Structure 1
Amino acid sequence: MRKILKVVAGVLCLATVFGGMASTPAAATPNLSFSDCGDGLQCGELSVPVDWDRPGGARSTLALAKLPALDAARKRGVLLVNLGGPQAQISAFRLPVFQGKVAELRQWFDVVIFDPRGFEASGGISCPLPAPAEADYVFPDQASFDAHAKQNDRFGRSCAEDPLAGNLNARQVAHDLETVRTALGERKLNYFGNSYGTVYGQVYAELFPRRVGRMYLDSVMDHTNPSLHDWLAHRARATEDTLHRFAAWCTRDAGCALHGQDVLSIWDELVARAEQQPIPGGGTTVSATQLVARADVRSEQRWPAFATALAEAYAGDATKLAVKPTFPPDPGVMRLAMCADFPYPDDYRAVKAVENALRTVAPRLGWRQAWIFAMNCSRLPDNGTFPPYRPHFRGLPPILVANGEQDDNTPPEWGRHLAAQLPGARYLTANGDHALYLDGNPCVRAHTHRYLTTGQLPPSTASCA
């Protein structure tokens, strides 16, 4: 088995070299001023090159917003925050709920946020065609995959008329961050990156190590592993673990519709039956691939409803699983940025090879991870302009990294892998899911506040419940 995995990993290993990694020479200090723009925010704009490899070429706008420190006399500087996505940030911070999540940080910092290049207020890219999304993203055959990929290609080409569309990768954004630091007049950049915001932090730390002040990376999206198989296997195992936690909950909780039964055996039998003949329900049928795509185990709050749906399907009525799940509209620009940083095979047979390899480590459910990035990135122009690679981190101050042990979106192995490469970094183990700080974990927040204000890292033995 190990030999098979190594062969597949070798075939699917992403490119490890990206030219022009040296930072662009610093220009004159850019002008930045903030003015009130409502909802408690102060807004400003910066001019940045469309392409940092051609700093004298076309320009674009970078939009920023500031939540001022609550006590200017006690302020310790600026903290630049990115919530992740990749997505627009300023519109989120107009909502009181998001301002509340960073309210404690305002005791010490001006909290500054920015819409990454191409998003909303920052010279947002407008794509004429909608980004295709498929709730049943586990494509059952080549024809359905090719039809989706064709739509995705058409969508991407419609965006390509904007010169920014090919320049949304994390390397470009890291140079934007350096311009923000300079414009804010900060000698060092203090940065809090959540989820995809950790990708920008990783790249900035390599390109501008001597400009890093305090950096906290929460729920790491690892951009330092060029092996697609290894990278996805961590996520697949985390998804499989979630299914096992769901089964364990059913064993403990009498309220589970499958309580007292072998949940994993029921799942196996149900999938096998659906492979032979789709299960009827709701005036239609549910196939095995649809079962896998619609298995809603990520959120513990939804476990009771999913258990009921499984129990009814096992009894022969898949009505509750017959309706495709609905998702918020995909802004499209998100996948342009993500797929530039995390390219993916766009050939059906190549993706099936990824699936087959993942089935050896996550045979029940985790293997579906092979198809999520395929749905977003298949045949998208500029797929992989800045692929994962093994960076060379040097001259950095200590960085704090934390991931939730139950997070199957950004699994803890990603955070550990990054922290092991950052000299002097500390990895904080936490019992939790995604976005630990923003989700309100008091232990994580206490360690983060101490680190950001004093530089003191948690003890190496620290862990958070």
Structure 2
Amino acid sequence: MKKAIRGVVGAVCLLTALNVAPGVSQAEGRPLEWADCGDGLQCGEVAVPADWGRPRGERVRLAVARLPARDQAAKKGVLLVNLGGPAQQISVLRVAKSAFSDLTRWFDVVVSDPRGFEASAGITCPYPAPLPENLEWASPGQAEYERYRTANHRFGVDCGRVAAGPLAGHLDSRQVAYDMDAIRAALGQDRLDYYGNSYGTVFAQAYARRFPGRVGRMYLDSVLDHTTRSWVDWLLPRARTMERNLERFAQWCGEQVDCALHGRDVVEVWDEVLERAAREPIPAGSTTVNASRIASRTNPGFEQEWPELARAIAEAHAGDATRFAEQPVGGRDPDLSRIMFCADFPYPSDYRVVKSFEARLRQVTPHIGWVAAWPMAYHCAGLPGKGTYPPERLRELGPGAGPVLVAGGEYDGTTPPQDARRVAAQWGNARYLPVKGGHALYLSGHPCVREHVHRYLLTGELPGEGAVCGAA
């Protein structure tokens, strides 16, 4: 299962180039027809309006795939799944089928590439989305930021407006919610049973706003709050979680004799490294590393990286920041993801505004949490057409809908548990399950979470009041 989650995460970031076999076109108003498309999957298509505000306008095709339940005669139902991103889903399912082996004991597991992604009227951006200079996105200098914002604006025009064709201006979670309901109808389901992970929870919130009476059993994991319009209120839980993770890292180092910073005040050493790098970049072989680059390379939420982080900080404190100069290994979000992300979360682009957010966060999270002001700026700076579906509060679910099961990891700095608590509270008919863990709890194989999720999806039984899942 640990191998499965690595496959899922890597696939979301890296597998844009995988081909998805063409499915079977669905005639208007008829059930989905399935055809084998390799790797144990069956594929089909659903036709939807490019703009649900003009339902008789131009149409696009949504690619849908299912991993059938192992025993079709005994299956309990159909479960629509979105693993987050926003990103393609079908190629992820191809390489990470084992992550769903438990669910296919009872359900057809169905995924769909969101509109515009890969097999769903896939938009081909004419060139890759820009990256900050030297990947220094945390509190960059204004000149560097403005150059990046100009490049990101140009990318947004060429990809999100020109290359997007009929989908231009219609790449947001509100449109996806209507797509989800079209898929529900094509699957022949009266209600939507759904499992959303990470950004898939934003789609769930949009769906519940539009179709509150059609929500069936819905499990949301690592919730991204799309209800809060105050950016500072939205950032604070992320900043506080990052700060707590730095404290956990320091505590771990105090207990591990082989930690490179064992016996030292870890937080104090970290602060000194940033202060020195802010005054004068620290040597790193043939180059130097500034404070922005060090902060951009540091996320204390990943426990498996703590030994390497301790070595990097210790060496930088001694005058060699080479480990922070190394380019990170791994992929990047699909270029189109930032178009949809910023349509839903129209983060301010003005450098002074983002710096003011940073200053506010530094007052309560002075060591590392203030970095939380910058990732959204990296995504959204200068993009045209932001905010076609900005955050809005939820309303209680309709009669007979739900209840909804929501889980959040205490150490998750990307989708902090406060997000899940806020969303669950607004629905009323929802149960929040706190977990000692990080991001993507079900997919990471957390046994307590998986037990609760399976029971809930099969029977509708929620965890008892006060239930908590401890560390895996």
The equivalent residue for 1:409 is 414
- Relative to the length of structure 1, the TM-score reads 0.92
Runs of 4+ in 1 over 4 A off after TM superposition: none
Whole-Å Cα distance in 2 between the matches of residues 376 and 223 of structure 1?
16
Instruction: Tell me which residue corresponds to 2:41.
Output: 41
AA of the residue aligned to 2:109: V
Q: Aligned with 1:254: secondary structure?
A: coil
Conservation of the 8 A alpha-carbon contact between 2:139 and 2:355? no
Contact 1:131-1:155 at 8 Å conserved across structures: yes
Return the offset for 1:29: 2.9
The partner residue of 1:447 within 441, 445, 452 is: 452
Counterpart amino acid of residue 238 in structure 1:
T
- 1:33-85 alpha-carbon deviations (Å, 9 max, x no partner): 11100000000001100000011111111000011111112111110000001
State how far apart, in whole Å, the 2-side matches of 1:333 and 1:165 are. 12
Q: Which residue is 1:164 aligned to? A: 167
- Identity within the alignment, %: 54
Aligned residue number for residue 93 of structure 1? 93
1:423, distance to aligned residue in structure 2 (A) = 1.9
Counterpart amino acid of residue 305 in structure 1: E
Shift, 1:31, TM fit: 4.4
Structure 1 unaligned residues grouped into runs of 5+: 1-26
- The residue type paired with residue 78 of structure 1 is V
Find the aligned partners of 2:322 and 2:404 in 1 and give their Cα distance.
49
Deviation at 1:458, TM superposition (A): 0.5
Q: Which residue pairs with 1:255 in the alignment?
A: 258
1:30 CA displacement: 4.2
2:144 aligns to what? 144
**What amino acid is the match of 2:105?**
Q
Distance (Å, rounded) in 2 between the aligned partners of 1:360 and 1:30: 57
Contact 2:139 2:371 in 1 (8 A): no
Q: Quickly say closer, same or farther: Cα 1:113–1:377, change in 2 above 3 A.
A: same
CA contact under 8 A between 1:81 and 1:193: conserved in structure 2?
A: yes
Q: Return the match for 2:466 from 446, 457, 461.
A: 461
Residues 412-423 of structure 1: pairs in structure 2 closer than 5 A: 412-423=417-428
CA distance in 2, matches of 1:378, 1:269: 30
Deviation at 1:122, TM superposition (A): 0.4
Residue 285 (str. 1) matches residue 288 (str. 2): yes
How far did residue 102 of structure 1 move? Answer: 1.0
Distance in 1 (alpha carbons) for counterparts of 2:425 and 2:332: 37
Could you tell me how far 1:136 is from its partner in structure 2? 1.2
Partner of 1:3 in structure 2? Answer: none
Kindly state the Cα deviation for residue 393 of structure 1 after the two structures are TM-superposed.
2.5
- 2:404 is aligned to 399
Corresponding residue SS for 2:194: strand
Matched, 1:346 2:344: no
| Partner Cα distance (1:351, 1:228) in 2 | 10
Deviations 1:412-455 (A, max 9, x none): 11001111111221000111110010111111111111111111
Equivalent residue number for residue 18 of structure 2: none
How much has 1:129 moved relative to structure 2? 2.2
1:282, CA displacement in angstroms? 1.3
Q: Which amino acid in the other structure matches residue 434 of structure 1?
A: H
Provide the residue aligned with 1:80 in structure 2: 80
Offset, 1:222? 0.7
Pairwise CA distance, 1:28 = 6.9
Q: Does 372-381 or 317-326 show the bigger shift?
A: 317-326
Residue 306 of structure 1: aligned partner: 309
Q: Secondary structure at the match of 1:110?
A: strand
Q: Which amino acid aligns with 2:103?
A: L
Quick check: 1:173 aligned with 2:180? no
> Contact (CA 8 Å) 1:225, 1:388: kept in 2 or not?
yes
Residues 170-205 of structure 1: CA deviation (Å, up to 9, x unaligned): 000000010001111111110000000001111111
Alpha-carbon offset, residue 331 of structure 1: 2.1
Distance 1:339 1:288 in 2: 27
8 A Cα contact 2:174 2:206, kept in partner: yes
The structural deviation recorded for 1:237 is 0.9
The letter of the residue matching 2:57 is: G
How many Å apart are 1:233 and its aligned residue?
Answer: 0.8
Which is further off, 381-390 or 190-199? 381-390
Using the alignment, how far apart are the partners of 1:381 and 1:416 within structure 2?
32
What one-letter code is carried by the residue in structure 2 that aligns with 1:442?
Answer: P
Q: Distance in 2 between matches of 1:278 and 1:389?
A: 43
User: 1:120 is matched with which residue: 106, 112, 118?
Assistant: 118
Task: Provide the aligned C-alpha RMSD in A.
Answer: 1.4
Q: Which amino acid aligns with 2:326?
A: V
Which whole-Å CA distance do the structure 2 matches of 1:317 and 1:99 have between them?
A: 43
Letter of the aligned partner of 2:172 in structure 1?
N
> Pick from 93, 105, 108: which aligns with 1:107?
105
Match of 2:382 in 1: 379
Comparing 432-441 and 393-402, the one that deviates more: 393-402
User: In the alignment, does 2:223 pair up with 1:225?
Assistant: no
Distance 2:277 2:182 in 1: 55
In structure 1, the residue matched to 2:270 is: 267
Cα pair 1:225 1:390 within 8 Å, conserved? yes
Does structure 1 retain, via aligned residues, the 8 Å contact 2:196–2:221? yes
Structure 2: how far apart are the matches of 1:329 and 1:299? 18
The Cα offsets for residues 86-123 of structure 1, whole Å up to 9 and x where unpaired, read as 0000001111xx21111111111111111000100001
Which of 214, 218, 221 is equivalent to 1:215? 218
Does residue 316 (structure 1) correspond to residue 319 (structure 2)? The answer is yes
Partners of 2:28 and 2:86 in 1: CA distance: 29
Which residue is 2:359 aligned to? 356
Residue pair 1:131, 1:330 contacting (<8 A) in 2 also: no
